[in-house]
C-alpha cells in the first residue's frame, strides 16, 4: 500500500487517536494511564499518522495533544529503553530511527502547519514533540520538566539540541541542570510556548490559531516554514541567496498564484492592504 492509497480508515486508533474536523486534524497520544509516555506503539503509529495526514486533503492543520491529564511524560523507560536494549540490536535501531523520523526529521519540515496543545504533564522526550511543532499553546497550570538529571542521565535523543535552539542559554541550562519543574505561565514567559491560557480556554485558543493558519495559502505556508528552518544555520549571504531562490520557487509552484493575486488586489483593485489581513484567495 502506498502513501497515496492510505486513508484515515487505515489508522489503528489505539495508541494514537485521530479525528479531522473543519480542516483541523486532532492527534491525541492515547496512553492516559501512563501519562502518554512514548512507547513503540506510539512511535510506529505516529509515523503512520503523519503519512496519512500529509495526503489527507481534509486536514489542513495538525494539532497534537494528549489524552487525560498529560501531554506526555516523555519516553517510556521500560518499553522504549530497557526492553529494546535487551532485544535485537537492529530492532532497537529501527525503533530509534522511527522515533527520530516523526519527532524531528519529519515534524519540523512537515508539509502542514502543526500546533502542540499542552494539556498537562510535559516531560523529557515530550519536549522534542513540543518543540518540533510550529506553534504551541499550553494550559497555564500544565507541568513542564527536564527531569533527566534526577535519573542520572542527560536530556538525550535530540532534546538538548531543540531546547538550546528555543531557549536562552541561562534558561535552558537552569532547567537542564536542576531538573526543576515549571508551569505553563513560565513556559510562555521563557518562550517555550506561544501562549498559556486557562484550561477551559485551551481548545478554543488552539482552534482559533489553527483556523488562522488554515486561511493562509498552503504552498506559501510550507515554503515560509522550510525557509525559516534552513536559514537559521546559514550565513547572511547564503540566506539572502537561498531566500531569493526560494521565493521564486514558491511563486512558480503555487497553484493559486497568491503573489499575483495579492499584487493585483493591492495595486489595481485597491481592495487589499498588506499587513492588515490576507489577500482574497477565491
pLDDT in tens, 218-239: 999 999 999 999 999 999 999 9
Instruction: List, in order, residues 6 or more apart from 123 with CB less than 8 Å away.
Output: 72, 73, 74, 143, 144, 145, 146, 147
Beta-bridge mates of residue 144? 122, 182
CA atoms in the 13 A half-sphere facing the CB of 167:
23
Residues 6+ apart with CB under 8 A from 45: 11, 12, 14, 15, 16
- CA atoms within 13 A of residue 66's CA, in its CB half-sphere: 29
**How would DSSP label each residue in 221-237?**
HHHHHHHHHHHTTS-HH
pLDDT value of residue 159: 92
What does the pLDDT read at residue 86? 65
Run of H or E including 53: helix 40-55
Smallest CA-to-CA distance from 121 within 161, 84, 71 is with: 71
**Segment 132-139 mean pLDDT:** 97
Q: Comparing C-alpha atoms, which of 120, 101, 109, 111 is closest to residue 43?
A: 101
C-alpha dihedral sign at 256, 259, 262, 264: negative
**Confidence class for position 4, pLDDT limits 50, 70, 90:** very low
How confident is the model over 102-116, as pLDDT tens digits? 888 889 899 999 999
For 176-184, what is the mean pLDDT?
97
User: What single DSSP character describes residue 18?
Assistant: E
- Give CA–CA dist 108/182, Å, rounded: 25
Higher pLDDT, 101 or 257: 257
Q: Which of 89, 95, 103 is nearest to 39 (CA)?
A: 95
* pLDDT single digits (tens) 31-58: 999 999 999 999 999 999 999 999 999 9
pLDDT one-digit tens code per residue, 43-96: 999 999 999 999 999 999 999 999 999 999 988 877 776 666 666 778 778 888
What's the pTM value of the predicted model, to 2 decimals? 0.92
pLDDT reported for residue 37: 93
Looking at residue 82, what is its pLDDT?
62
Phi, psi of 138 (to 5 degrees): -130, 150
Higher pLDDT, 208 or 2: 208
Spatial contact of 218 and 60, defined as CB atoms under 8 Å apart: yes
Q: What is the pLDDT of residue 6?
A: 65
One CATH from 3.30.360.10, 3.50.90.10, 3.40.50.970, 3.90.226.10 for 3-214: 3.90.226.10
pLDDT tops 50 at residue 194: yes
Q: How many CB atoms lie within 10 A of CB 32?
A: 14
**Residue 127 corresponds to which cell in the numbers above?**
519536549
pLDDT at 87: 66
Strands (E), 85-142: 114-118, 121-123, 135-139
pLDDT at 2 over 70: no
**What is the model's pLDDT at position 105?**
81
Chain-centroid distance, C-alpha 155: 19
pLDDT of residue 52: 97
Alpha helices (H) along 101-235: 126-132, 159-166, 169-178, 184-189, 202-214, 218-231
Amino acid at each position: 500500500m502506498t502513501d497515496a492509497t492510505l486513508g484515515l480508515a487505515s489508522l489503528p486508533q489505539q495508541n494514537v487517536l485521530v479525528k479531522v474536523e473543519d480542516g483541523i486534524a486532532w492527534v491525541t497520544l492515547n496512553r492516559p494511564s501512563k501519562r502518554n509516555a512514548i512507547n513503540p506503539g506510539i512511535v510506529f503509529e505516529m509515523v503512520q499518522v503523519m503519512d496519512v495526514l500529509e495526503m489527507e486533503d481534509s486536514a489542513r492543520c495538525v494539532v497534537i495533544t494528549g489524552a487525560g491529564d498529560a501531554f506526555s511524560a516523555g519516553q517510556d523507560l521500560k518499553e522504549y529503553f530497557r526492553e529494546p536494549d535487551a532485544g535485537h540490536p537492529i530492532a532497537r535501531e529501527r525503533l530509534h530511527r522511527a522515533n527520530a523520523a516523526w519527532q524531528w526529521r519529519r515534524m519540523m519540515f512537515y508539509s502542514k502547519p502543526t500546533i502542540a496543545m499542552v494539556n498537562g504533564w510535559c516531560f523529557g522526550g515530550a519536549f522534542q514533540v513540543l518543540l518540533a511543532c510550529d506553534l504551541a499553546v499550553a494550559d497555564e497550570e500544565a507541568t513542564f520538566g527536564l527531569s533527566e538529571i534526577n535519573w542520572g542521565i542527560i536530556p538525550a535523543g535530540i532534546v538538548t539540541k531543540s531546547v538550546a535552539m528555543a531557549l536562552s542559554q541561562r534558561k535552558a541550562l537552569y532547567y537542564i541542570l536542576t531538573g526543576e519543574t515549571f508551569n505553563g505561565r513560565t513556559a510562555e514567559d521563557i518562550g517555550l510556548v506561544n501562549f498559556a491560557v486557562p484550561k477551559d480556554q485551551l481548545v478554543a485558543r488552539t482552534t482559533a490559531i489553527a483556523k488562522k493558519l488554515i486561511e493562509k495559502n498552503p504552498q506559501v505556508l510550507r515554503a515560509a516554514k522550510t525557509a525559516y528552518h534552513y536559514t537559521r544555520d546559514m550565513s547572511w549571504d547564503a540566506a539572502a541567496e537561498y531566500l531569493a531562490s526560494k521565493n521564486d520557487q514558491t511563486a512558480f509552484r503555487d497553484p493559486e498564484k497568491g503573489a499575483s493575486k495579492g499584487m493585483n488586489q493591492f495595486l489595481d483593485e485597491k481592495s487589499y492592504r498588506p499587513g492588515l489581513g490576507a489577500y482574497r484567495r477565491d
